[in-house]
Structure 1
């Protein structure tokens, strides 16, 4: 067990508290697997979507791709239009862990790579996102994980002591980023491992 007292717990959101998969609506829109995989590899790519997480608005993002792929305009616009289908469900057990930590009086915040407008929509779909003390949304501040600056800003804005902070994220690069900022951090894979990781840091549920 770690000898460091954890005073602050910071949750990522996507693939930790809520599911995210763009293939869900696009399996209907582009039924052919090979064509759909090509579309995500060459048109609406991960890097393209990440710029919305960094703060680029959707209209500019769509216009950029439509200029390059005019024949794909309908599918490009469908990415934002059908976004709500991509966040199909909450991870109930993970949410229960977060709720239990809050109920215990733990200091819980969230740090997420998320476009500003889709995060507003996510809050409507999943009201438990309003339960923690607050959230840093990358698209609202123009910084993204794993950039060191976003961890430093979150810690400053919420008065966190980095050495006494535990961060939970599904992406290995974001876990490393948090550690580089002086935080404790664990990679989320499933709720049982999260419980074990929390216990290893002196937090038993």
Structure 2
């Protein structure tokens, strides 16, 4: 067993919150194939991540429309109808969060790649976001996972010992980034696997 953990760090999207641009784009495109092509070639992950790191949504939208004017309406919908991409909370993982919160020995934080302009909408929708001891939002800090400086902001702000912390994140790239600064990582697949990893690797029984 690794050194005793006293800090749990959650990613939000795809771990505690179901966010998926396909929910909105299914209202604009006729087929899944058209949606996938658009997200792979026009409104890409790389483009969205730039906004997660603080680039203004309106400017990003205009930049992309200038580059692909034939997709103006679909591009404008990405942030114009962003709230329609926000699904429900992922209940099984939120239950794990609640169980951990009830254990007095843990401080629990969120470290999220999320635009500062859209994050307030999530705060309005999901009451459990108030349970954290702190939340660090990439768009507010102008950097994001997996860059080491983003992890360091969290560690410094809340005086966290990295060897006693574990990050739960669905993106393996982010897990590797955390491990590079000394934070333990659990690559999140589903709630059952998370429970098993917490128990087997860190002795945390839920």
User: TM tier, shorter chain?
Assistant: over 0.9
* Secondary structure at 1:117 match in 2: coil
Match in the other structure for 1:195: 195
* Secondary structure at 2:118 match in 1: helix
- Matches for 1:1-205 after TM superposition, within 5 Å: 2-105=1-104, 106-200=106-200, 201-205=202-206
State the alpha-carbon separation in 2 of the partners of residues 167 and 179 from structure 1.
9
Q: What are the superposed Cα offsets for residues 74-116 of structure 1, whole Å, 9 maximum, x if unpaired?
A: 1111111221221211110100111111122221001010001
Q: Which moved more, 1:63-72 or 1:184-193?
A: 63-72
Mark the runs of 5 or more structure 2 residues left unpaired by the alignment: none
State the alpha-carbon separation in 2 of the partners of residues 32 and 188 from structure 1.
29
* Secondary structure at 2:97 match in 1: helix
State the alpha-carbon separation in 1 of the partners of residues 19 and 179 from structure 2.
25
State the alpha-carbon separation in 2 of the partners of residues 173 and 135 from structure 1.
20
* Secondary structure at 1:30 match in 2: coil
State the alpha-carbon separation in 1 of the partners of residues 9 and 160 from structure 2.
10
CA displacement at 1:197 relative to structure 2: 1.1
Number of corresponding residues? 204
Q: Which moved more, 1:177-186 or 1:31-40?
A: 31-40
State the alpha-carbon separation in 2 of the partners of residues 197 and 120 from structure 1.
31
Mark the runs of 5 or more structure 1 residues left unpaired by the alignment: none
Q: Which moved more, 1:81-90 or 1:152-161?
A: 81-90
State the alpha-carbon separation in 1 of the partners of residues 41 and 197 from structure 2.
37
Q: Which moved more, 1:77-86 or 1:15-24?
A: 77-86
Q: What are the superposed Cα offsets for residues 4-30 of structure 1, whole Å, 9 maximum, x if unpaired?
A: 110101000000001121111101111
Q: Which moved more, 1:77-86 or 1:161-170?
A: 77-86
Q: Indicate if the aligned counterparts of 2:57 and 2:117 stay in contact, CA closer than 8 A.
A: no
Q: Indicate if the aligned counterparts of 2:10 and 2:169 stay in contact, CA closer than 8 A.
A: yes
State the alpha-carbon separation in 2 of the partners of residues 145 and 9 from structure 1.
16
State the alpha-carbon separation in 1 of the partners of residues 152 and 134 from structure 2.
15
CA displacement at 1:70 relative to structure 2: 1.7
